[in-house]
Amino acid sequence: MFETAGKMFFQALRDAVVTRLGRDHPCLSVVDRAIDTGGADATLAVQDALNALGADLVALLMADAHSAVRQNPAAILEGWQPRGIKR
């Protein structure tokens, strides 16, 4: 589930970056890499890119991403695939 939830979050963050910073902002390629490859290195790269933007802008981007995820609970449930449940 982490891979799916992480990807969903980064997609929401990507949308926020495009909306607030534009498609040409260097932060976008870092977020795209996190969506495509995942993993700790990509996550750390996103953190570094966001930290370079300053706390106020990061707060706006995170609020946008959180709002997008919160407004789409079906996407969270789609990513949840319990294992071991026998019916």
pLDDT digits (tens, 9 = 90+) for 26-83: 999 999 999 998 888 999 999 999 999 999 999 999 999 999 988 887 766 666 666 6
Above 80 in pLDDT, residue 3? no
Instruction: Return the DSSP state at 54.
Output: -
Question: Which residue is listed with tokens 């991403």?
Answer: 65
Distance CA 33, CA 78 (A): 22
Q: What is the pLDDT of residue 21?
A: 97
Distance from first CA to last CA of the chain, Å, rounded?
A: 21
